Amino acid sequence: MTSRPAAGGGRWVEVDPARIARWVEGFTDRHGTPAVLAQPYGLLLTAPDGATAELHTPPGVPTSPDVAGFAAAASTPRRIGLLLARKGAVAVGIAEGSDLVVHKVDTRYVQGRTAAGGWSQQRFARRRDNQAKAALADAVELTVRLLLPEAATLAALVAGGDRRAVDTVLADRRLTPLAALRADRLLDVPEPRYAVLLAAATAARATHILVRDPD
């Protein structure tokens, strides 16, 4: 379980699917038995002391009107497509539950920024742009080859890395079926590698809970 401050107050907690029911039990012990209200994002828990917890439904999970149903649905194994893109690297995969059953990482050199000036700087900038475009083209083809044939079997597509790079990949018309499955969640990941992809498979399944303590 991880926690980080939330913009506007409170904190975000990421909870593994198997621990959701236990987390709610802990919330109840600390704040009292909460009222449970279904929301478009998932469930809102409001405790007697004013504490609230927003349980956001993980990608590909059906909605549920109660905590037991929410926890059961979140912990049910499902196939999730993964697309991580950042600068000159891309990683694609398919996770079944916590297992990464399909995976491929591809890297291509993209030159860093240069401090040179004048025509030299412009030449390096053009070269860098061309390298970045070639890297994204490779990312598109890799996604078409590995994920597109499996689109009908996926509950959701979870992306991570640089939003602009991901948007560029999914803008390819061939990937329209995958773009339609894209979850709102964007994973914050470093340059894609196998270990990063493996961690993303876990992060994609986590339940995000926004907790606000009483004033």
- CATH number, position 166: 3.30.420.60
pLDDT value for 80: 97
Predicted pLDDT of residue 121:
60
Residues 36 and 121 in one domain: no
pLDDT category at 56 given cuts 50, 70, 90 is: very high
User: What are the tokens at 163?
Assistant: 């939003």
Regarding whether 107 and 177 lie in a shared domain, the answer is yes
CA dihedral defined by 69, 70, 76, 77, rounded to 10 degrees?
A: 160
* Distant-in-sequence contacts of 36-39, Cβ < 8 A, 24+ apart: 36/65, 36/66, 36/67, 38/63, 38/64, 38/65
Q: How many separate domains does the chain show?
A: 2
How does DSSP classify residue 73? H
pLDDT band at 137 (very low <50, low <70, confident <90, very high): confident
Collect all residues with Cβ–Cβ distance below 8 Å to 182 and sequence separation of at least 6: 156, 157, 158, 159, 170
Rounded CA gap, 42 and 29, in Å? 22
User: In this structure, what token pair is assigned to residue 23?
Assistant: 């987390």
Is residue 123 predicted with pLDDT exceeding 70?
no
pLDDT bin (cut points 50, 70, 90) of residue 110 is very low
The confidence score (pLDDT) of residue 136 equals: 84
The average confidence (pLDDT) of the chain is 89
What confidence score (pLDDT) does residue 109 get?
44
Q: Are strands 35-39 and 42-46 parallel, antiparallel or unpaired?
A: antiparallel
44 and 33 in a common domain: yes
Chain-centre distance for alpha carbon 166: 12
CA-wise closest residue to 135 among 165, 92, 113: 165
Q: Are residues 132 and 65 in the same domain?
A: no
For residues 95 and 190, state if they share a domain. Answer: yes
Both 71 and 88 in one domain: the answer is no
Mark whether 117 and 54 lie in a shared domain: no
Note whether 70 and 156 are same-domain residues: no
The values of phi and psi at residue 57, to 5°, are -60, 130
CA distance 177 to 169: 13
107 and 172 belong to one structural domain: yes
Tell me, yes or no, whether 44 and 86 share the same domain: no
Q: What is the pLDDT of residue 40?
A: 95
Which domain covers residue 20, as residue numbers?
2-77+206-212
